């Protein structure tokens, strides 16, 4: 078996046999990797508690046919502060769960890796209700899904001629009052979503919690779910065909 070094964030773990655990990681160079950590559930494991979800690690691994094997681990960022705060822990887990669902196995995803490390550090240093929705939108953008936020997807009219008052997942964008369908969208939530996707992420992260941040969070979650469902359907159709 060949040996390699990489860095990675633990997305989730599950039990294997009596003492082992499978670790699902998003690595910098190899994308999503599944690896066995042998003996990790024994009290005197040489890995200690380092292989927990949200940990950012430097790893030495043996490459396997299906599962790689964790040989050595060093912590780069421990999720310490997140574990002490249930709200931030929940947000951190939402990030890794989204990555686990979106990123396929063993396809390099260096941009998503950098985004994930950045979002986890942001969550630790300057928590904001915008971290998770911003990450969802950026993850969708990395998948090639860019919502139309400037003009109505029905009639191509933009502000100031019409107010854009709705968002439709199927159409992938905003709608004016006459074309409206999908879900209602407030002006503040539209402005905040434009900031997230238009290169003003830092300003968006400074927004205090408000009805608009809650609305943006719901919209981003719905957009991610829509994307995952559509992909599941297309995979099912592909497998039938
Ligand atoms: Zn319209």
How far, in Å, is the centroid of ligand 1 from the Cα of 184? Answer: 14
CA of 67 to the centre of ligand 1 (A): 51
Per-residue pLDDT of the chain (241 residues; tens, 9 = 90+): 699 999 999 999 999 998 899 999 999 999 999 999 998 888 788 887 889 999 999 999 999 988 999 999 999 999 888 888 999 999 999 999 999 999 999 999 999 999 999 999 999 999 899 999 999 999 999 999 999 999 999 999 999 999 999 999 999 999 999 999 999 999 999 999 999 999 999 999 999 999 999 999 999 999 999 999 987 787 777 666 5
pTM (predicted TM-score): 0.92
The Cα–Cα gap between 83 and 120 comes to 12
Task: Measure 218 CA to ligand 1 centroid, in angstroms.
Answer: 23
Beta-carbon-side half-sphere exposure of residue 101 (alpha carbons within 13 Å): 19
Q: Rounded to whole angstroms, how far apart are CA atoms 225 and 217? A: 12
Cα dist. 241→104, 219, 231, 233, 237 in Å?
Answer: 21, 33, 15, 12, 6
For residue 190, how far is its CA from the centre of ligand 1 (angstroms)? 16
Over the Cα atoms of the chain, what is R_g? 20
* Gap from CA of 164 to ligand 1 centroid (Å): 8
- CATH 2.40.50.140: which residues of the chain? 3-80
φ/ψ (deg, to 5) at 138: -65, -35
Task: Measure 176 CA to ligand 1 centroid, in angstroms.
Answer: 4
Size (the chain), residues: 241
Distance between CA atoms of residues 27 and 30, nearest Å: 6
CATH code of the domain occupying 3-80: 2.40.50.140
Distance from the alpha carbon of residue 213 to the mean position of ligand 1, in angstroms:
25
Tell me, in angstroms, the distance from the centre of ligand 1 to residue 174's CA: 9
Model pLDDT, residue 140: 96
Ligand 1 centroid – CA 181 distance (Å) = 10
Q: How far is CA 113 from the centre of its chain?
A: 9
Q: How far is the CA of 153 from the centre of ligand 1 (A)?
A: 6
The Å distance, Cα 173 to ligand 1 centre, comes to: 11
CA of 148 to the centre of ligand 1 (A): 12
pLDDT of residue 44: 80
Residue (of 69, 80, 29, 18) closest to 47 by Cα position: 69
- Residue 1: the pLDDT is 64
- Residue pair 205/122 in contact by the 8 Å Cβ criterion: yes
CA of 57 relative to ligand 1 center, distance in Å: 48
Task: Look at residue 188 in the predicted model and tell me its pLDDT.
Answer: 97
Starting at the earlier edge strand, list the strands of the sheet with 183-184. Answer: 173-176, 164-168, 183-184
Ligand 1 centroid to 158 CA: how many Å?
Answer: 8
- Strand 31-37, strand 56-62: pairing: unpaired
């Amino acid at each position: 078996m060949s040996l390699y070094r990489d860095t990675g964030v633990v997305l989730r773990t599950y039990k294997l046999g009596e003492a082992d655990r499978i670790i699902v990681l998003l690595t910098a160079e190899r994308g999503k990797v599944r690896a066995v950590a042998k003996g990790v559930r024994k009290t005197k494991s040489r890995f200690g508690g380092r292989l927990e979800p949200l940990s950012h690690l430097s790893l030495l691994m043996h490459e396997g046919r299906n599962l790689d094997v964790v040989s050595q681990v060093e912590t780069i960022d421990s999720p310490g502060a997140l574990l002490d705060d249930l709200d931030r822990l929940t947000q951190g887990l939402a990030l890794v769960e989204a990555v686990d669902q979106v990123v396929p196995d063993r396809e390099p995803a260096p941009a998503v890796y950098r985004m994930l490390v950045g979002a986890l550090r942001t969550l630790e240093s300057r928590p904001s209700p915008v971290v998770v929705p911003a990450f969802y939108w950026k993850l969708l953008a990395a998948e090639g899904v860019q919502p139309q936020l400037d003009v109505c997807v029905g009639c191509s009219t933009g502000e100031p001629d019409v107010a854009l008052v709705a968002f439709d997942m199927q159409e992938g964008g905003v709608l004016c009052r006459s074309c409206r369908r999908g879900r209602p969208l407030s002006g503040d939530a539209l402005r905040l979503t434009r900031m997230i996707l238009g290169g003003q992420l830092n300003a968006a992260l400074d927004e205090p919690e408000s009805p608009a941040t809650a609305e943006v969070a719901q919209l981003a979650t719905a957009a991610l779910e829509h994307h995952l469902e559509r992909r599941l359907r297309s995979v099912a159709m592909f497998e039938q065909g």
